[in-house]
Amino acid sequence: MRRPVTVAGARLRDKPILVPLLIAANVAAYVLTAIQAGNFGANFRSALFVDYSLIPLTVAGGQWWRLVTSGFLHIGVVHLVMNMLALWVIGRDLELLLGRARFAAVYGLSLIGGSTAVFLLGGADQPVAGASGAVYGLMGGIAVAALRLKVSLRPVITVIALNIVASVLIPGISLLGHIGGLLLGAASTAALVYAPRERRTLVQAGALVALLVVLVVVLVVRDVSYGDLSCVGSGYELACG
């Protein structure tokens, strides 16, 4: 007998695993930076934060890991708590719907999508950090899933709209990272929930790889336009993602 699966092809499960692990990783990174800085409110002064936050110029200089590591760093307790609450509320249902591997792919593409938007269009010397790009990707994903399942989109759209408005009105928020994550999350989730059942795995894998390739191409093209840059100073204004 076939086991029941979700619209994305995932086995039915009763609790999420990746979401708690992601929250634990973000909290651990914050605690490490706070201890290193000797200040829980100014943890961004730690060497770890400086070395792993997203600064477009340093990425262009070859420090590509910042595109990913910046998504696990936060500027202060409030920034961390807001993102982790959103991740817990939105991520649990989406992980159960997509399954662990697919959810991990959506989260990762959303994180890189947000970082790519900052690298492409953001200030060259402005550090950005935060899980919001990935979290906004989950918002886009849950909206697409609701559309596929034909349930009311009003609560999801309201939450997304309020968050985008907050991104515009509140100083120091990286709107680019949010929009980039939102778009990649929606696109990758659409590829998962709308894939034809007969060749679902092949179509899903192909679509996710194609999205990753597009991101890599955009990053490489933008990197070339920056030229040969290898370092950037400290003391720039921080932006929360």
List the end-to-end C-alpha distance of the chain, in Å, as a whole number: 46
| Given the residues 115, 132, 167, 174, the one annotated as active site | 132
Q: Is 132 a catalytic residue?
A: yes
* Distance of alpha carbon 93 from the chain centroid: 17
| Cβ 240 vs Cβ 49: under 8 Å | no
Residue type, 189: T
Sign of CA dihedral 58, 64, 67, 69: negative
Q: Is 110 a catalytic residue?
A: no
**What is the rounded distance in angstroms from the CA atom of residue 29 to the CA atom of residue 32?**
5
For residue 77, give every residue at least 6 positions away whose Cβ sits within 8 Å of its Cβ, in sequence order, or none: 30, 40, 41
| Given the residues 46, 53, 79, 178, the one annotated as active site | 178
| Cβ 105 vs Cβ 184: under 8 Å | no
Catalytic residues: 132, 178
